[in-house]
A and B are shown apart, each in its own frame.
Chain A
Amino acid sequence: MVHAFLIHTLRAPHAEDSGLCRVLYSCVFGAESSPDDPRPHGAERDRLLRKEQILAVARQAETMCRLQQQASGRPAADLQPQPSDEPVPLHEAPRGAFRLAAGDPFREPRTAVWLGVLSFGFALVLDAHENLLLAENTLRLLARLLLDHLRLLTPGTNLLLRADRIEGILTRFLPHGQLLFLNDQFVQSLEKEFSAALPR
């Protein structure tokens, strides 16, 4: 199952210093159960830890993406949305995976799968020994849905204030972090349901 899904910023591969990696959205599916800590500030600390774990994953994904972009010699202009009707070629988008050892940063060992599209990074944090091919397909699907339904290619839209739509997509396509074996017909069905429930 998926432990967390996140969207983060991607900086241009050759940019000198254009700020920090920001987590734009994150959703954790079920908390790692904390060691028994009934002290009142335990809750604050748990939340802080959770946010920092997600940020750590985002930073590493962003670094990996940037290094991969540099290595393949892709120009920085790839990060800008090109105003055309052609769908963004997600099968060729930079992607990868890395292992997260136990304790670093999650209590359990996990694996992260990431995908870079324009200036957005999408990542899944998986339980160890998940079906990586399915995870990769799912991540590509989520990225496509988010790009389409949040109109991320249109200048002026910002996903920071669209959490309901992101949640609507996750509820259907990654419910409680369950990776689903959805063939094209089922995907279309769910998309129709989503468009009906959350019209633009």
Chain B
Amino acid sequence: MGTGSQSLTQICRVLTPQLGPGGSVEPILRCFNLTDDSVTAGRGGAGRAPGGGGMAAAGTERLLRQAREVRDEELGQFCARASALLRTEEPGPEAVDALRRLFLIVAATKYGRKLEDECVDLLQTALGPPPRPEPLQLLCAAILRETAPRPGLSLSCDCVQSPRQLSLVASVLLAQGDRRQVRSVGQRVFQVLESRQPEGPSARPLLPVVSKVASLAPGSFREDQANLLSKRLADWLRYASVPQGPAPSGGFFTPRARQPGPVTEVDGAVATDFFTVLSTAQRATEDQWLNVQAFSMLRAWLQLGGPGAPDTDDRSEQEGSSLSVLSAAASTGRLLPPERLREKAFQYCQRLVEQSTRRALRRADADLQKACLVEAVLVLDVLCRQDPSFLYRTLSCLKALQARLNGDPACVRVLLPLAQFFLGHGEAAAVDAEAVCRQVFGRVPAEHFHSPMLAFEFVQFCRDSLPLLGRHLGLLRRSFPGLLQLLAWNSPALTAEFVALLPALVDASTAVELLHALLDLPCLTAALDLQLRLSPAASERPLWDASLRTASCPDASQDPQLQGRLQHLLRTEASGAPERLAPLYPLLQPMAGCARVLQCAEAVPTLLRAFFSAVTQFADGALTNQLARLLLERSDSLYPVPGYEARVHQCGLSASTWR
């Protein structure tokens, strides 16, 4: 397509004759000055200049400002131009160009922009038949969504037959925030799905709409509709075609080029069983695509897709029920999905677990395998909660999986949903939940504290597991040192999460040691950094602070005393006996000024406040006084981070008022 300036010229030529008396070219031209050429800035050579990124940012800033400064009259005239372009028989690149600019104008500001009614009507018309070029339709839908909610929208999906167009129209209607409209979209999509011909256009665009409708307005589908959809999903999950090489008898008259290729597993071997998201096909058939989509929406459908009372807002109930061990049916009064779908879902998950043992040829597929494992465990959890009779078969499958994954650091993120499954169903299935917890709490934080996503998920896991831990809560409490490693390394991201978790972590037996540990948090950060430097994991980039070059890392291994204290600092379980860490400070001194340590030091006062707030919930006066005194005493024997001592001292002074 042409560059911005070329289309600008073309549009000017279209415009100029139509300007009335007194109308100046300037204001409209300014609309069209929203070119991306403003970014090139004549730098000539490649962008190695240090200011390169800055110039791109300046260009972006300028564009946004121009879009915001378009005045209402100018916008009105621009809408008229866009309308004229949309009205033509076959809107071309100029129309697309105009709509791109129109989208930017409405999207660039959080305040509403008035679009002329005629323009809005034309945008809506462009979404219906006859089909316009895709970029045009995408922009029309995007502009209508950007300006949503729009009362008085005449757009309706009643007459739209084509699944692709229906999906676009639906995206606009679902953005209006009107639950009745969401339901009617659901009804129309269901109609089109059911009435479509096998040789007709693909139903692919419609399944995500079904899923979105079910999530925005649960109960949008009647029982018979939901059952029919469940039946289809079950078929797509279990019976997607798996042609084995050249087609038999019927293939003589069908050209080879149109044969779907053989289905393989992610390691290249020929597929051994039914098609799943971990099966690869040269040219995917329609039902193979639907298999992918069906699995992608399966968990949400199992939980939300059933019929229910149409007018209750029970989404929050559903969120809660994904945590509870009670069966979903009992807690929501909603009918369970049909048994056939649940059975096929179970088989699918089992197959995924089996397929995940294969060694993927491509990295992206290896990543997908792990995501599939997580999903399989989550789906199995839902199935077992809905119907405990699945538990027996699930347990044997998942116990084997856990044994396999335990030694594999690449799969650590799958261990968390697994552990949560065992915690949730352990009582019913006589699983040693304590052993599971010990494995998870003992090793995972210490080995993976440097992974920001894992650190976040781990803390989420702790919070979500609280209702499930029951008598194992003590184990979580005793594991706080390991958890603090996650916090020490990722303090900006995890401080808020820890503040929420602290009340569960503190009890009378751990309070003193925990307070010491919180005060030593920046010291822990430095120690973790040192540990990473001395024994680097295999990673493409250094995990420690790359800007800090310590010429020679003092070697602690020579001094057993220092070694002992370092091990104490890096422990993963509460020891019950605090140790003085001051002898470590000289060793860790080089790290005292680095950014990660400073960030941690800044987070500590917040944590101390949360700690004392939690303590006062259960502690008697004696313990609280002891802790407040401890805080004051420690405030002059802290790891010397600039400004840290003053901050803690300040906390100590006000600690006595935190009752």
- Report which A residues bind B (CB closer than 8 A): 1, 9, 11-12, 18-19, 22, 24-34, 40, 42-44, 46-48, 51-52, 55, 63-64, 67-68, 70-75, 77, 79-83, 89, 91-92, 94-99, 108-109, 113, 118-119, 127-129, 131-134, 136-137, 141, 155-158, 160-165, 167-168, 171, 175-187, 189, 197-198, 200
| A71–B110 CB distance below 8 A | no
Contact residues in B for A189 (Cβ distance below 8 Å)? 283-284
| B492–A68 CB distance below 8 A | yes
**1/0 contact string of B489-500 vs chain A (CB within 8 Å):** 010110011000
Nearest chain A CB to B220 CB, angstrom units: 12
Of the candidates A30, A127, A186, the one whose C-beta lies within 8 Å of that of B174 is A30
| A92–B540 CB distance below 8 A | yes
Contact residues in B for A197 (Cβ distance below 8 Å)? 134
The interface centre, meaning the residue of B60, B150, B178 with most chain A CB atoms within 10 A of its CB, is B60
| B110–A18 CB distance below 8 A | no
| A77–B50 CB distance below 8 A | yes
| A137–B37 CB distance below 8 A | no
Given A161-B101, A163-B104, A183-B280, are A118 and B496 neighbors across the interface (CB < 8 Å)? no
Given A97-B453, A97-B456, A184-B364, are A33 and B178 neighbors across the interface (CB < 8 Å)? yes
Chain B stretch 524-556: residues in CB contact (< 8 A) with chain A: 540-541, 543, 545-548
| A47–B147 CB distance below 8 A | yes
| A99–B50 CB distance below 8 A | no
CA distance A130 to B518 in the complex (A): 31
13 new A-B contacts at CB < 8 Å, known A182-B368, A183-B365? A9-B60, A29-B212, A31-B177, A64-B492, A72-B596, A80-B50, A133-B413, A161-B4, A167-B138, A168-B135, A168-B138, A176-B174, A177-B212
Given A160-B36, A179-B296, are A134 and B374 neighbors across the interface (CB < 8 Å)? yes
CA distance A136 to B367 in the complex (A): 10
The interface centre, meaning the residue of B138, B216, B372 with most chain A CB atoms within 10 A of its CB, is B138
CA distance A156 to B58 in the complex (A): 12
> Which residue of the partner chain A has the closest CB to B211?
A178
| A155–B47 CB distance below 8 A | yes
Our count of residue pairs bridging A and B at CB distance below 8 angstroms stands at: 294
CA distance A164 to B141 in the complex (A): 10
User: Which secondary structure characterizes the binding site on chain B?
Assistant: helix
| A33–B216 CB distance below 8 A | yes
Nearest chain B CB to A98 CB, angstrom units: 6
Tell me, yes or no, whether B371 is within 8 Å of chain A by CB: yes
> Which residue of the partner chain A has the closest CB to B370?
A133
Given A73-B548, A92-B540, A176-B208, are A109 and B319 neighbors across the interface (CB < 8 Å)? yes
The interface centre, meaning the residue of B108, B177, B283, B546 with most chain A CB atoms within 10 A of its CB, is B177
Of the candidates A24, A43, A137, A175, the one whose C-beta lies within 8 Å of that of B205 is A175
CA distance A82 to B53 in the complex (A): 10
Contact residues in A for B182 (Cβ distance below 8 Å)? 30, 33
| A155–B52 CB distance below 8 A | yes
CA distance A91 to B528 in the complex (A): 22
Nearest chain A CB to B585 CB, angstrom units: 21
Tell me, yes or no, whether B230 is within 8 Å of chain A by CB: no
Nearest chain A CB to B480 CB, angstrom units: 20
**1/0 contact string of B57-69 vs chain A (CB within 8 Å):** 1011101100100
Given A1-B212, A158-B60, A184-B365, are A132 and B457 neighbors across the interface (CB < 8 Å)? yes
Selecting from B38-46, B115-123, B398-406, the interface stretch reads: B38-46
Chain B stretch 135-164: residues in CB contact (< 8 A) with chain A: 135-136, 138-139, 141-142, 145, 147-151
Tell me, yes or no, whether B217 is within 8 Å of chain A by CB: yes
Tell me, yes or no, whether B335 is within 8 Å of chain A by CB: no
Tell me, yes or no, whether B297 is within 8 Å of chain A by CB: yes
Nearest chain A CB to B11 CB, angstrom units: 14
**1/0 contact string of B438-479 vs chain A (CB within 8 Å):** 000000000000001100110010000000000000000000
Contact residues in A for B289 (Cβ distance below 8 Å)? 186
Residue pairs across A and B with Cβ atoms less than 8 A apart, 27 shown, are A1-B215, A9-B60, A22-B60, A29-B171, A31-B148, A40-B151, A44-B112, A47-B149, A48-B110, A72-B546, A73-B548, A75-B547, A77-B50, A91-B363, A92-B540, A95-B453, A108-B316, A155-B52, A161-B4, A163-B104, A165-B135, A176-B211, A178-B211, A179-B296, A181-B292, A184-B364, A189-B284
Chain B stretch 8-55: residues in CB contact (< 8 A) with chain A: 34-37, 39-40, 43, 46-48, 50, 52-55
| A119–B57 CB distance below 8 A | yes
Contact residues in A for B297 (Cβ distance below 8 Å)? 178
| A131–B375 CB distance below 8 A | yes
Contact residues in B for A91 (Cβ distance below 8 Å)? 363
Contact residues in B for A73 (Cβ distance below 8 Å)? 545-548, 594-595
Contact residues in A for B63 (Cβ distance below 8 Å)? 158, 160-161
